[in-house]
Amino acid sequence: MPARKLTLSKSIPPSVTLADVARCAGVTKSTASFAFSGKRKISDATKKRIFAVAMELGYQPNPHAQRLGAGRAARLVGLFALTLDYVAWKMMSQLHHDLATQGYEAPLYTYGYSEDRPPDHGVLLSTMCSQLPEGIVCNTAKLVEADCPVLEHYQQRGGTLVCLHTEMPLVCDQVIFDREKNTYLAAEYLLKAGHRDIGLCTFDVADLSQPRTRGFAKALQAFGVSLHPQWLFEAGREEDGGAMLAKKFLQAEKRPTAMCIINDMQAATFVHQLLRAGVRVPEDVSVVSLDDMPAARHGVVALTAVTQPWHEMAETAAQFLLQRLHGTAPQEPRKVTFTGEIIERESVRQV
Protein backbone atom coordinates (compact mmCIF):
# COMPACT_ATOMS: atom_id res chain seq x y z
CA MET A 1 0.00 0.00 0.00
CA PRO A 2 1.56 3.35 -0.99
CA ALA A 3 2.30 5.81 1.78
CA ARG A 4 -0.01 8.78 2.06
CA LYS A 5 1.44 12.22 1.59
CA LEU A 6 2.34 13.79 4.92
CA THR A 7 0.66 17.06 5.70
CA LEU A 8 1.88 18.39 9.02
CA SER A 9 -0.77 20.92 9.94
CA LYS A 10 -2.95 21.99 12.81
CA SER A 11 -5.18 18.98 12.07
CA ILE A 12 -2.56 16.67 13.65
CA PRO A 13 -3.45 16.14 17.29
CA PRO A 14 -0.96 17.35 19.89
CA SER A 15 -0.52 13.78 21.17
CA VAL A 16 0.43 11.58 18.21
CA THR A 17 -0.62 7.95 18.49
CA LEU A 18 0.60 4.77 16.86
CA ALA A 19 -2.60 4.78 14.77
CA ASP A 20 -1.63 8.22 13.39
CA VAL A 21 1.79 6.88 12.38
CA ALA A 22 0.25 3.81 10.72
CA ARG A 23 -2.29 5.89 8.79
CA CYS A 24 0.31 8.35 7.45
CA ALA A 25 2.74 5.54 6.59
CA GLY A 26 0.04 3.62 4.72
CA VAL A 27 0.27 0.49 6.87
CA THR A 28 -1.92 -1.25 9.41
CA LYS A 29 -1.58 -0.41 13.09
CA SER A 30 -0.30 -3.93 13.81
CA THR A 31 2.46 -3.54 11.18
CA ALA A 32 3.53 -0.25 12.76
CA SER A 33 3.52 -1.95 16.17
CA PHE A 34 5.71 -4.79 14.86
CA ALA A 35 8.17 -2.23 13.46
CA PHE A 36 8.71 -0.82 16.94
CA SER A 37 8.48 -4.06 18.93
CA GLY A 38 10.43 -6.36 16.63
CA LYS A 39 8.02 -9.23 17.35
CA ARG A 40 7.65 -9.99 13.65
CA LYS A 41 9.95 -9.39 10.71
CA ILE A 42 8.84 -6.75 8.24
CA SER A 43 10.73 -5.41 5.24
CA ASP A 44 13.47 -2.86 5.80
CA ALA A 45 11.78 -0.46 3.38
CA THR A 46 8.51 -0.58 5.32
CA LYS A 47 10.32 -0.23 8.61
CA LYS A 48 12.27 2.80 7.40
CA ARG A 49 9.07 4.43 6.13
CA ILE A 50 7.34 3.90 9.47
CA PHE A 51 10.30 5.31 11.42
CA ALA A 52 10.54 8.32 9.09
CA VAL A 53 6.85 9.09 9.57
CA ALA A 54 7.14 8.63 13.34
CA MET A 55 10.07 11.04 13.48
CA GLU A 56 8.30 13.65 11.35
CA LEU A 57 5.10 13.43 13.38
CA GLY A 58 7.00 13.52 16.63
CA TYR A 59 5.75 10.13 17.79
CA GLN A 60 7.60 8.90 20.88
CA PRO A 61 7.00 5.24 21.78
CA ASN A 62 7.44 4.38 25.44
CA PRO A 63 10.32 1.90 25.46
CA HIS A 64 9.42 0.65 28.93
CA ALA A 65 5.82 -0.02 27.98
CA GLN A 66 6.57 -1.86 24.73
CA ARG A 67 8.06 -5.27 25.45
CA LEU A 68 9.43 -7.93 23.22
CA GLY A 69 8.44 -11.56 23.61
CA ALA A 70 11.53 -12.06 25.74
CA GLY A 71 10.50 -9.21 28.01
CA ARG A 72 12.96 -6.64 26.66
CA ALA A 73 12.25 -2.98 25.97
CA ALA A 74 11.80 -2.44 22.23
CA ARG A 75 13.85 0.13 20.32
CA LEU A 76 15.97 0.79 23.41
CA VAL A 77 19.77 0.36 23.46
CA GLY A 78 21.81 1.10 26.57
CA LEU A 79 25.20 2.78 26.15
CA PHE A 80 27.59 2.28 29.05
CA ALA A 81 30.85 4.10 29.70
CA LEU A 82 32.08 4.05 33.27
CA THR A 83 33.90 7.35 32.82
CA LEU A 84 34.04 9.77 29.91
CA ASP A 85 37.43 10.99 28.78
CA TYR A 86 37.62 12.71 25.41
CA VAL A 87 37.90 9.52 23.36
CA ALA A 88 35.10 7.72 25.24
CA TRP A 89 32.84 10.75 24.82
CA LYS A 90 33.50 10.82 21.07
CA MET A 91 32.78 7.09 20.73
CA MET A 92 29.56 7.30 22.73
CA SER A 93 28.42 10.33 20.71
CA GLN A 94 29.03 8.48 17.45
CA LEU A 95 27.18 5.42 18.70
CA HIS A 96 24.22 7.53 19.80
CA HIS A 97 24.08 9.15 16.37
CA ASP A 98 24.29 5.85 14.47
CA LEU A 99 21.57 4.24 16.59
CA ALA A 100 19.26 7.27 16.58
CA THR A 101 19.29 7.36 12.79
CA GLN A 102 17.97 3.78 12.89
CA GLY A 103 15.11 4.73 15.21
CA TYR A 104 16.61 3.59 18.51
CA GLU A 105 16.57 5.41 21.81
CA ALA A 106 20.08 5.17 23.27
CA PRO A 107 20.46 6.56 26.82
CA LEU A 108 23.98 6.83 28.20
CA TYR A 109 24.84 5.38 31.60
CA THR A 110 28.00 6.99 32.97
CA TYR A 111 29.56 8.71 35.96
CA GLY A 112 31.04 11.34 33.64
CA TYR A 113 34.73 12.13 33.82
CA SER A 114 36.59 10.61 36.75
CA GLU A 115 40.24 9.79 37.31
CA ASP A 116 39.35 6.81 39.48
CA ARG A 117 36.92 3.97 38.89
CA PRO A 118 33.86 4.75 41.07
CA PRO A 119 33.56 2.16 43.87
CA ASP A 120 29.83 1.65 43.27
CA HIS A 121 30.04 1.23 39.51
CA GLY A 122 28.26 -2.12 39.76
CA VAL A 123 25.09 -0.28 40.75
CA LEU A 124 25.17 1.74 37.54
CA LEU A 125 25.80 -1.37 35.45
CA SER A 126 22.95 -3.24 37.13
CA THR A 127 20.60 -0.28 36.71
CA MET A 128 21.18 -0.26 32.97
CA CYS A 129 20.67 -4.01 32.64
CA SER A 130 17.50 -3.90 34.76
CA GLN A 131 15.85 -1.68 32.14
CA LEU A 132 16.02 -4.72 29.81
CA PRO A 133 17.05 -2.85 26.66
CA GLU A 134 17.09 -4.78 23.40
CA GLY A 135 20.81 -4.24 23.20
CA ILE A 136 23.76 -2.86 25.14
CA VAL A 137 27.03 -1.42 23.87
CA CYS A 138 29.35 -1.54 26.86
CA ASN A 139 32.56 0.48 26.86
CA THR A 140 34.60 -1.95 28.92
CA ALA A 141 37.49 0.41 29.73
CA LYS A 142 38.16 0.17 33.49
CA LEU A 143 35.76 -2.75 33.95
CA VAL A 144 37.10 -5.97 35.46
CA GLU A 145 36.24 -9.65 35.21
CA ALA A 146 34.12 -9.39 38.38
CA ASP A 147 31.68 -7.20 36.40
CA CYS A 148 30.94 -9.97 33.92
CA PRO A 149 28.14 -11.80 35.83
CA VAL A 150 25.84 -8.76 35.58
CA LEU A 151 26.28 -8.65 31.81
CA GLU A 152 25.98 -12.44 31.50
CA HIS A 153 22.67 -12.35 33.39
CA TYR A 154 21.42 -9.68 30.99
CA GLN A 155 22.35 -11.93 28.05
CA GLN A 156 20.61 -14.92 29.65
CA ARG A 157 17.41 -12.86 29.72
CA GLY A 158 17.65 -12.43 25.96
CA GLY A 159 19.61 -9.21 25.66
CA THR A 160 22.18 -8.50 22.94
CA LEU A 161 25.60 -7.32 24.13
CA VAL A 162 28.52 -5.76 22.28
CA CYS A 163 31.74 -4.99 24.19
CA LEU A 164 33.78 -1.99 23.09
CA HIS A 165 37.42 -1.17 23.95
CA THR A 166 38.82 -3.86 26.32
CA GLU A 167 38.40 -7.59 25.73
CA MET A 168 36.26 -9.33 28.36
CA PRO A 169 35.66 -13.07 29.04
CA LEU A 170 32.13 -12.86 27.61
CA VAL A 171 30.46 -14.66 24.71
CA CYS A 172 29.50 -11.69 22.55
CA ASP A 173 30.71 -9.49 19.71
CA GLN A 174 33.74 -7.46 20.80
CA VAL A 175 35.44 -4.40 19.29
CA ILE A 176 38.88 -4.18 20.90
CA PHE A 177 41.45 -1.42 21.10
CA ASP A 178 44.96 -2.91 21.40
CA ARG A 179 46.66 -0.46 23.77
CA GLU A 180 49.81 -2.61 23.90
CA LYS A 181 50.35 -2.56 20.14
CA ASN A 182 49.34 1.12 19.98
CA THR A 183 52.11 2.06 22.44
CA TYR A 184 54.54 -0.31 20.72
CA LEU A 185 54.05 1.68 17.50
CA ALA A 186 54.87 4.95 19.27
CA ALA A 187 58.09 3.63 20.80
CA GLU A 188 59.05 1.83 17.60
CA TYR A 189 58.75 5.07 15.62
CA LEU A 190 61.20 6.82 17.97
CA LEU A 191 63.57 3.86 17.88
CA LYS A 192 63.54 3.83 14.08
CA ALA A 193 64.32 7.57 14.19
CA GLY A 194 67.53 6.64 16.01
CA HIS A 195 66.59 7.44 19.62
CA ARG A 196 67.79 5.10 22.35
CA ASP A 197 67.11 7.16 25.49
CA ILE A 198 63.31 7.08 25.54
CA GLY A 199 60.83 7.80 28.33
CA LEU A 200 57.18 6.89 28.77
CA CYS A 201 54.39 8.74 30.55
CA THR A 202 51.16 6.84 31.16
CA PHE A 203 48.85 5.75 33.97
CA ASP A 204 50.07 3.01 36.33
CA VAL A 205 53.35 3.17 34.44
CA ALA A 206 55.30 1.33 37.15
CA ASP A 207 53.13 -1.76 36.63
CA LEU A 208 54.94 -3.59 33.83
CA SER A 209 51.89 -5.83 33.29
CA GLN A 210 49.79 -2.88 32.09
CA PRO A 211 49.20 -2.92 28.29
CA ARG A 212 50.77 0.51 27.65
CA THR A 213 53.96 -0.19 29.62
CA ARG A 214 54.15 -3.72 28.24
CA GLY A 215 54.01 -2.48 24.64
CA PHE A 216 56.66 0.14 25.34
CA ALA A 217 58.99 -2.44 26.94
CA LYS A 218 58.52 -4.87 24.04
CA ALA A 219 59.52 -2.23 21.50
CA LEU A 220 62.70 -1.42 23.44
CA GLN A 221 63.52 -5.11 23.74
CA ALA A 222 63.05 -5.63 19.99
CA PHE A 223 65.77 -3.02 19.37
CA GLY A 224 68.07 -4.27 22.13
CA VAL A 225 67.51 -1.14 24.25
CA SER A 226 67.36 -1.23 28.05
CA LEU A 227 64.32 0.02 29.95
CA HIS A 228 65.26 2.80 32.40
CA PRO A 229 62.81 2.86 35.34
CA GLN A 230 63.69 6.51 36.11
CA TRP A 231 62.22 7.45 32.72
CA LEU A 232 58.83 5.89 33.44
CA PHE A 233 56.73 8.90 34.44
CA GLU A 234 53.29 9.02 36.02
CA ALA A 235 52.03 12.58 36.09
CA GLY A 236 48.26 12.87 36.23
CA ARG A 237 45.95 13.56 33.31
CA GLU A 238 45.52 16.01 30.49
CA GLU A 239 46.76 19.62 30.90
CA ASP A 240 47.59 19.40 34.61
CA GLY A 241 49.35 16.11 33.99
CA GLY A 242 51.39 17.66 31.18
CA ALA A 243 52.55 20.48 33.43
CA MET A 244 53.46 17.98 36.15
CA LEU A 245 55.37 15.84 33.64
CA ALA A 246 57.31 18.86 32.39
CA LYS A 247 58.33 19.71 35.95
CA LYS A 248 59.57 16.17 36.61
CA PHE A 249 61.33 16.04 33.24
CA LEU A 250 63.15 19.35 33.76
CA GLN A 251 64.26 18.29 37.25
CA ALA A 252 65.71 14.97 36.03
CA GLU A 253 69.48 14.66 36.42
CA LYS A 254 69.69 12.93 33.05
CA ARG A 255 66.88 13.41 30.56
CA PRO A 256 65.74 11.10 27.77
CA THR A 257 66.02 12.44 24.23
CA ALA A 258 62.49 11.31 23.37
CA MET A 259 59.14 10.78 25.10
CA CYS A 260 56.01 8.71 24.44
CA ILE A 261 53.11 10.49 26.15
CA ILE A 262 49.53 9.42 26.79
CA ASN A 263 47.48 11.57 25.96
CA ASP A 264 47.50 14.45 23.43
CA MET A 265 46.42 17.20 25.82
CA GLN A 266 49.05 16.10 28.30
CA ALA A 267 51.68 15.99 25.54
CA ALA A 268 50.75 19.41 24.11
CA THR A 269 51.01 21.01 27.57
CA PHE A 270 54.32 19.23 28.19
CA VAL A 271 55.74 20.70 24.96
CA HIS A 272 54.47 24.18 25.81
CA GLN A 273 56.10 24.06 29.26
CA LEU A 274 59.41 22.85 27.81
CA LEU A 275 59.47 25.66 25.27
CA ARG A 276 58.89 28.20 28.03
CA ALA A 277 61.87 26.69 29.87
CA GLY A 278 64.09 27.00 26.78
CA VAL A 279 64.02 23.31 25.85
CA ARG A 280 63.34 22.90 22.12
CA VAL A 281 61.01 20.36 20.51
CA PRO A 282 62.15 18.41 18.55
CA GLU A 283 65.76 19.66 18.57
CA ASP A 284 66.37 18.83 22.26
CA VAL A 285 63.63 16.28 22.88
CA SER A 286 61.31 14.44 20.50
CA VAL A 287 57.70 13.67 21.40
CA VAL A 288 55.15 11.14 20.18
CA SER A 289 51.66 11.40 21.65
CA LEU A 290 48.84 8.89 21.53
CA ASP A 291 45.21 9.23 20.33
CA ASP A 292 45.64 12.03 17.72
CA MET A 293 42.97 14.32 19.08
CA PRO A 294 42.80 18.04 18.05
CA ALA A 295 45.37 18.99 20.72
CA ALA A 296 47.99 17.00 18.80
CA ARG A 297 47.29 18.75 15.53
CA HIS A 298 46.90 22.35 16.67
CA GLY A 299 49.45 22.89 19.46
CA VAL A 300 52.53 25.12 19.40
CA VAL A 301 54.38 22.19 17.80
CA ALA A 302 52.23 19.82 15.76
CA LEU A 303 52.70 16.41 17.37
CA THR A 304 53.53 13.15 15.70
CA ALA A 305 50.87 10.82 17.08
CA VAL A 306 49.55 7.27 17.03
CA THR A 307 45.82 7.33 16.35
CA GLN A 308 43.10 5.75 18.41
CA PRO A 309 40.52 5.09 15.66
CA TRP A 310 37.47 5.86 17.80
CA HIS A 311 35.22 6.65 14.84
CA GLU A 312 35.79 3.30 13.14
CA MET A 313 35.49 1.46 16.45
CA ALA A 314 32.13 3.09 17.26
CA GLU A 315 30.76 2.44 13.78
CA THR A 316 31.82 -1.21 13.95
CA ALA A 317 30.17 -1.65 17.37
CA ALA A 318 26.93 -0.10 16.08
CA GLN A 319 27.03 -2.30 12.98
CA PHE A 320 27.58 -5.46 15.03
CA LEU A 321 24.70 -4.60 17.36
CA LEU A 322 22.24 -3.70 14.59
CA GLN A 323 23.06 -6.88 12.69
CA ARG A 324 22.35 -8.92 15.81
CA LEU A 325 19.07 -7.11 16.46
CA HIS A 326 17.98 -7.52 12.83
CA GLY A 327 18.94 -11.20 12.70
CA THR A 328 21.57 -10.79 9.98
CA ALA A 329 24.72 -11.51 12.03
CA PRO A 330 26.64 -14.80 11.87
CA GLN A 331 26.00 -17.24 14.69
CA GLU A 332 29.52 -17.14 16.10
CA PRO A 333 30.59 -14.03 18.08
CA ARG A 334 32.92 -11.69 16.23
CA LYS A 335 36.05 -9.92 17.48
CA VAL A 336 37.73 -7.05 15.66
CA THR A 337 40.93 -5.47 16.99
CA PHE A 338 42.07 -1.92 16.19
CA THR A 339 45.62 -0.66 16.77
CA GLY A 340 45.87 2.79 15.14
CA GLU A 341 48.61 4.19 12.93
CA ILE A 342 51.42 6.75 13.04
CA ILE A 343 50.64 10.28 11.83
CA GLU A 344 53.92 12.10 11.17
CA ARG A 345 54.19 15.80 12.04
CA GLU A 346 56.87 18.11 13.49
CA SER A 347 57.71 16.80 16.95
CA VAL A 348 60.29 14.07 16.17
CA ARG A 349 63.91 14.60 15.17
CA GLN A 350 65.83 11.99 13.20
CA VAL A 351 69.06 11.19 15.06
Tens-place pLDDT, residues 156-173: 999 999 999 999 999 999
pLDDT the model gives residue 117: 57
- CATH fold label, 180-308: Rossmann fold (3.40.50)
- Structural contact between residues 259 and 270, judged by C-beta atoms closer than 8 angstroms: yes
Whether 1-61 shares its CATH topology with 180-308 is answered: no
pLDDT the model gives residue 235: 83
Other Cβ atoms less than 10 A from the Cβ of 43: the count is: 10
Please classify residue 65 by burial: count the beta carbons closer than 10 Å to its beta carbon, then call 0-12 exposed, 13-18 middle and 19+ buried.
exposed
Asked if the 1-61 domain carries CATH number 1.10.260.40, the reply is: yes
At position 238, the amino acid (one-letter code) is E
Proportion of the chain above pLDDT 70, given as a percent = 89
pLDDT the model gives residue 1: 44
User: Domain coordinates of the chain in residue numbers?
Assistant: 1-61, 73-178+310-338, 180-308
- Structural contact between residues 112 and 143, judged by C-beta atoms closer than 8 angstroms: no
Which residues touch 264 (CB under 8 Å, ≥6 apart)? Answer: 289, 290, 291, 292, 293, 294, 295, 296, 303, 305
pLDDT the model gives residue 67: 44
Q: How far apart are the first and last CA of the chain?
A: 72
pLDDT the model gives residue 116: 59
Q: Classify 73-178+310-338 by CATH class.
A: alpha beta
* pTM of the shown model: 0.77
- pLDDT tens, 26-71? 999 888 888 876 667 778 888 888 888 888 888 866 544 444 444 5
pLDDT the model gives residue 120: 72
At position 11, the amino acid (one-letter code) is S
Residue numbers of the chain with a pLDDT score lower than 50:
1-13, 63-70
pLDDT the model gives residue 125: 92
pLDDT the model gives residue 39: 62
pLDDT the model gives residue 70: 47
pLDDT the model gives residue 42: 79
